[in-house]
């Protein structure tokens, strides 16, 4: 699969202890239903709970994690750009333009979609897995030419990076058992 060449996996981006702390933090947060596109809630397409990390939170804990996650994810996004020789076209990235904590519970999913549209300026997408003690919830990419699928195996601390464009439709299959926690982030 040609697209697989441009889907990068980085292990140990955060250690297992930090992944565990983020999951414990998630159990104290107020999540909201995730939306699609320009802010529409459609649980037939995207059924997941989300919490947005922002640096201007009153909570120092949230600020800390926002800066820490931005630092780690941007480091590996820039490594991806360097590896693929895209730096000359894009330059080095400085900040993620959005970082969300996602909580997928039983039957939650996200149908095939792309991350960059007229309304969302994104160059690179990423998912950081926090756990793998659930069933279902596979991150799956689809080749638009022959419908061949590429499934990414989750592992706590693994970061997956890929271009946000129309060549990389991806989905999260329905959760069958347990809860899937992940961090999603994008940069332009």
pLDDT digits (tens, 9 = 90+) for 156-169: 999 999 999 999 99
pLDDT digits (tens, 9 = 90+) for 53-92: 998 888 999 999 999 999 999 999 999 999 988 888 888 8
Q: Tell me what pLDDT residue 118 has.
A: 81
Q: What is the mean pLDDT of the chain?
A: 94
Q: Which 3 state secondary structure label does DSSP give 20?
A: helix
Per-residue pLDDT band at 4 (split at 50, 70, 90): confident
Per-residue pLDDT band at 2 (split at 50, 70, 90): low
Residue pair 69/183 in contact (Cβ under 8 Å)? The answer is yes
Q: Where are the chain's structural domains?
A: 3-187
The CATH superfamily label for domain 3-187 reads q2cbj1_9rhob like domain (2.60.120.620)
Q: Comparing C-alpha atoms, which of 46, 64, 42 is closest to residue 55?
A: 64
Q: Tell me what pLDDT residue 14 has.
A: 98
Q: Tell me what pLDDT residue 146 has.
A: 86
Residue 133 pLDDT greater than 90, yes or no: yes
Q: Tell me what pLDDT residue 1 has.
A: 58
Residue recorded with tokens 């332009």? 188
Continuous H helices in the chain: 16-26, 60-83, 87-90
Handedness of CA 49, 152, 156, 76 (dihedral sign): negative
């Amino acid at each position: 699969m040609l697209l697989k060449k441009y889907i990068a996996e980085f292990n140990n981006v955060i250690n297992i202890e930090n992944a565990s702390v983020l999951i414990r933090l998630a159990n104290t947060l107020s999540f909201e239903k995730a939306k699609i596109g320009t802010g529409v809630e459609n649980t037939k397409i995207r059924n997941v709970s989300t919490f947005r990390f922002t640096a201007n939170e009153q909570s120092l804990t949230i600020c800390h994690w926002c800066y820490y996650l931005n630092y780690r994810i941007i480091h590996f996004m820039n490594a991806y750009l360097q590896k693929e020789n895209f730096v000359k076209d894009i330059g080095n990235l400085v900040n993620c333009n959005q970082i969300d904590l996602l909580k997928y519970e039983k039957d939650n999913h996200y149908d095939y979609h792309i991350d960059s549209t007229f309304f969302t300026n994104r160059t690179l997408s990423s998912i950081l897995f926090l756990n793998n003690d659930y069933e279902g919830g596979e991150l799956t990419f689809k080749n638009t030419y022959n419908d061949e699928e590429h499934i990414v195996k989750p592992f706590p601390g693994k970061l997956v990076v890929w271009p946000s464009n129309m060549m990389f439709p991806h989905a999260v299959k329905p959760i069958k058992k347990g809860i899937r926690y992940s961090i999603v982030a994008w940069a332009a």
